[in-house]
């Protein structure tokens, strides 16, 4: 498993270095064709990056497994998560004002936003617990909120690219890269969302002939998902 992670990191490094060269060339010439021909690699970069640990994949899968979200809803949640995750880095880099010093404790990290993200996810987890113990058996709503909360932690690699592009005087190149990178991140997170929802549907279909057991299992999944979200949030806030 370690070799796979190392390969993913190596691929990211190669794409990043190559794209840095394109940003330099674009900054010197202003020729968009130098950048545009390489932008599709940003999709691969985003997908590979999203496959590495982090990016709230486990949080997304946990929430969707314990919720009653449909496939379109789940895909929308994954899109919101991807957009906020990448977009937050773009905003931080473009603003590069007091927000940076307030939210960034070290390179690529945003402690304040991380705490806000975990706090919101913890609140959603508690809500899922409450509904599970009440016996509703379903979690309605909160999907987009969960995606937004999980995505609040900015993407460090997007931040690096944006900072590099801004330092070269071409922030538009960083934004263009962020857009295509977000597409790759979305592909991976959408796959995770789809797998979680199909798993839940398959499990519930197997139990459809036993309504009482179905209700117990549904509530148990919901309670377990709520516990995991609340525990992850609490552990992160206490660290």
Domain boundaries, the chain: 2-238
Q: Give the pLDDT mean for 112-127.
A: 73
pLDDT for res 227 = 83
96's enclosing H/E stretch is: none
Contact yes or no for 23/172 (Cβ under 8 A)? no
Reply yes or no on whether the pLDDT at 236 is more than 70: no
- pLDDT higher than 80, residue 93: yes
Which H or E run includes 42? helix 40-51
Closest by CA position to 165, among listed 179, 186, 184, 183 = 179
pLDDT at 140 (0 to 100)? 52
Q: Which residue has the higher pLDDT, 70 or 140?
A: 70
pLDDT at position 194 over 90: yes
Q: Rounded mean pLDDT of 122-130? A: 78
- So what's the pLDDT on residue 107? 47
pLDDT at 75: 92
Whether 188 shows a pLDDT value over 80: the answer reads yes
Task: Work out the pLDDT band at 237, boundaries 50, 70, 90.
Answer: low
Mean predicted confidence (pLDDT) in 63-83: 88
Any idea which of 7-11, 88-92, 97-101, 179-183 has the lowest mean pLDDT?
A: 97-101
Task: Look at 88 and 120; give whichever has higher pLDDT.
Answer: 88
Bigger pLDDT: 110 or 82?
82
Q: How far is CA 69 from CA 45, 72, 134, 179, in A?
A: 29, 8, 19, 26
Whether 49 shows a pLDDT value over 90: the answer reads no
Instruction: Give the list of residues 6+ apart from residue 54 with CB closer than 8 angstroms, or none.
Output: none
Mean predicted confidence (pLDDT) in 110-121: 68
Q: What is the mean pLDDT of the chain?
A: 79
pLDDT band at 204 (very low <50, low <70, confident <90, very high): confident
Torsion of CA 129, 135, 140, 144, to 10 degrees: 10
Q: 206: how many CB neighbours lie within 10 A of its CB?
A: 11
Mean pLDDT of 88-102: 67
Indicate whether 238 pLDDT > 70.
no
pLDDT above 90: percentage of residues in the chain: 12
């Amino acid at each position: 498993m370690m070799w796979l992670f190392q390969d993913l990191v190596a691929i990211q490094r190669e794409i990043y270095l190559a794209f840095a060269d394109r940003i330099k060339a674009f900054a010197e010439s202003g020729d968009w064709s130098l950048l545009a021909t390489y932008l599709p690699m940003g999709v691969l970069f985003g997908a590979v990056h999203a496959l590495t640990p982090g990016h709230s994949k486990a949080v997304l899968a946990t929430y969707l497994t314990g919720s009653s979200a449909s496939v379109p809803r789940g895909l929308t949640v994954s899109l919101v998560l991807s957009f906020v995750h990448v977009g937050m880095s773009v905003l931080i880099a473009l603003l590069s004002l007091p927000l940076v010093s307030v939210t960034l404790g070290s390179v690529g990290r945003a402690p304040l936003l991380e705490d806000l993200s975990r706090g919101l996810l913890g609140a959603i987890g508690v809500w899922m617990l409450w509904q599970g113990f009440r016996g509703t058996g379903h979690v309605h709503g909160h999907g987009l909120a969960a995606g937004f909360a999980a995505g609040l932690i900015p993407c460090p690699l997007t931040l690096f690219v944006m900072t590099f592009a801004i330092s070269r005087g071409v922030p538009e190149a960083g934004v263009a890269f962020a857009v295509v990178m977000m597409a790759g991140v979305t592909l991976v997170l959408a796959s995770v969302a789809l797998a979680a929802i199909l798993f839940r549907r398959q499990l519930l279909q197997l139990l459809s002939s036993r309504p009482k057991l179905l209700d117990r299992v549904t509530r148990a999944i919901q309670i377990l998902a709520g516990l995991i979200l609340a525990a992850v949030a609490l552990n992160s806030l206490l660290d």
